[in-house]
Amino acid sequence: MDNFQEVLNEITNNLDTIKDKGVVASYIPELAHVDKNKFGIYLLDIYQNNYSAGNSDEGFSIQSISKAFSLSQALSIVGEDIWKRVDVEPSGDPFNDLSLLEIENGIPRNPFINAGAIVISDILFTHLKNPKEDFLAYVRSVANDNSINYDEKIAVSEKKTGYRNYAAANLIKSYGNIKNDVNDVLEFYFFQCSLTMSCKQLTNAFYIFMNKGICMQGKKYLNTNQIKRINAIMLTCGFYDEAGEFAFKVGLPGKSGVGGGIVALLPNKFCVATWSPGLNPRGNSKIGMLALEQLTTKTGLSIF
């Protein structure tokens, strides 16, 4: 199993030579100022052995990766009823990064486009006593790490400039599929996206998705059926309109964020997180995608 460490080192060396590291997200200053040369990778196998390289311990803004946590928490609270309010089909829309087109009669295409995650936030907002605090507590618990926190500056920045999310939320509200106040729901949503976590922390948290819903400390958060569903959605919808390409090249369920993080997993085998802030034209970490492609090619391990 030491093999994993060798592979991570090799990948890190290979990718170091690539000069074009993509384009850092710039729509808010807090993301724009991150150093493009950062790279971290952290792999945790089911036996809880871990392997790492680069800046795997440094926190970054997880952004849309938080959608995996909010879906997980909503599913554990509400159960299968959440599928009445959000669909599970890939979005497939190459034209509209807002995915407004994809909100059919107020039902977003899946929980990993912004529109879908906003509906999930509305569901959580209804069921959690103190939404922001309770969601943070959930992530800390899953990751077994109380140092995880929101970055309030990022949340406030997104709130100020997130017009497309306001557009999506209001459109959904017009169909009655948001039950709470639009501003309240969006404020909660922006806080979720603002979580700062390292590759290590993300991998620890995703252990539940790899290990049948049971965390590293042995606590069960979700049943196997729910895990199967979350992993299926990660595979078909986890990478914006590049999901097909990721399944095709990497072959693992996963979730990416515009902060440059990606987490992926092979059920019952391992989970792995990468971080490199430069994005490709479709909004996923350029170097992170390559790292995971090399990982599954070199190890021959994928779900297919």
Contact positions toward its own copies, by CB under 8 A? 87-94, 98, 100-102, 104, 109-110, 163-164, 166-171, 173-174, 182, 224-225, 227-229, 231-233, 235-237, 241-245, 247-248, 251, 253, 267, 297, 300, 302-304
Closest contact distance (angstroms) between CB of 187 and its own copies is 15
CA 242 – CA 236 distance, rounded (Å): 9
Closest contact distance (angstroms) between CB of 13 and its own copies is 22
Nearer to its own copies, 149 or 280 (CB): 280
Closest contact distance (angstroms) between CB of 174 and its own copies is 4
CA 151 – CA 195 distance, rounded (Å): 6
Q: Take residue 81 and report the two structure tokens written for it.
A: 């009823």
CA 246 – CA 186 distance, rounded (Å): 29
Phi, psi of 281 (to 5 degrees): -60, -20
Nearer to its own copies, 56 or 177 (CB): 177
Which 3 state secondary structure label does DSSP give 78?
A: helix
Phi, psi of 54 (to 5 degrees): 65, -150
Closest contact distance (angstroms) between CB of 157 and its own copies is 15
Closest contact distance (angstroms) between CB of 63 and its own copies is 17
Answer yes or no: are the C-beta atoms of 188 and 134 closer than 8 Å.
no
Nearer to its own copies, 33 or 160 (CB): 160
> Which residue is it, tokens 């039950």?
179
Task: Find how far residue 242's CA is from the centre of its chain.
Answer: 14
